[in-house]
Structure 1
Amino acid sequence: MIEIYHNPRCSKSRQGLSILEESGKAFEIIKYLEEDLTSVELQDVIIKLGIKPIDLIRKNEAIWKSEFKGKSLSDNEIIAAMVNHPKLIERPIVINGDKAVIGRPPEAIKEII
């Protein structure tokens, strides 16, 4: 089943959700700010995206700038930062099987559904 890691307060995430709704395909909404992600779950998402953990970070978030920016962090430390501060995770993320995409722009979602 298709999954969307969704933040209802984010316009891009809402646009991504709309694309999924229009597709008519079944999907599950994961409100990652409310449902705690484990580091294993996040690592799985990163592998499906085919990116480095740092590429999933929202670098303009205040918590990133104040706590992590400019520090030399390992991949595991970056993942831990996202687990502890899920607001740092770029969104929306759509997963379909073993493929995933960050919906920026939201139209990128169409590539995997």
Structure 2
Amino acid sequence: MIKIYHNNRCRKSRAGLEIVENSGKDFEIIKYLDEVPSVAELKKIIKLLKINPIDLVRKNEAVWKENFKGKTLSDNVIVKAMVENPKLIERPIVINGDKAVVGRPPELISTIL
């Protein structure tokens, strides 16, 4: 089943959800601000995305700028920061089996459906 890590307040995330809905396939919405992934779950997602943890961080968020910007951080510290501050997680993330993509732009989602 397809999973979409979604934030309804985000225009790009809503556009991504629309693409998933229009695919006609079964999917699950995970409101990651309410259902925060664990460190292990987030590491698994990052591995599926084939990116480094820093590439999943929303670097323009105030919490990042105030607490982490300009510091040398390990991957584990970055993942922990995202779990403790889920607003830092880039969105939407769509997972389909062993494929995953960050829907920025949302059209990228179509490549794994």
| TM norm structure 2 | 0.99
Aligned positions of 1:19-98 closer than 5 A: 19-98=19-98
Number of positions where the alignment pairs a residue of Structure 1 with one of Structure 2:
113
Q: Distance in 2 between matches of 1:75 and 1:85?
A: 15
Deviation at 1:75, TM superposition (A): 0.1
Partner SS, residue 59 of structure 1: coil
Which residue is equivalent to 1:110? 110
Q: Distance in 2 between matches of 1:90 and 1:53?
A: 11
User: Percent identical across equivalent pairs?
Assistant: 68
Q: Which amino acid aligns with 1:7?
A: N
Q: Distance in 1 between matches of 2:88 and 2:36?
A: 13
Deviation at 1:39, TM superposition (A): 0.3
Q: Distance in 1 between matches of 2:99 and 2:4?
A: 12
Deviation at 1:37, TM superposition (A): 1.1
Deviation at 1:36, TM superposition (A): 2.1
Q: Which amino acid aligns with 2:102?
A: I
Which residue is equivalent to 1:16? 16
Root-mean-square deviation (CA, aligned residues, Å) is: 0.4
Q: Distance in 1 between matches of 2:36 and 2:107?
A: 27
Q: Distance in 1 between matches of 2:81 and 2:69?
A: 12
Partner SS, residue 82 of structure 1: helix
Partner SS, residue 3 of structure 2: strand
Q: Distance in 2 between matches of 1:4 and 1:38?
A: 16
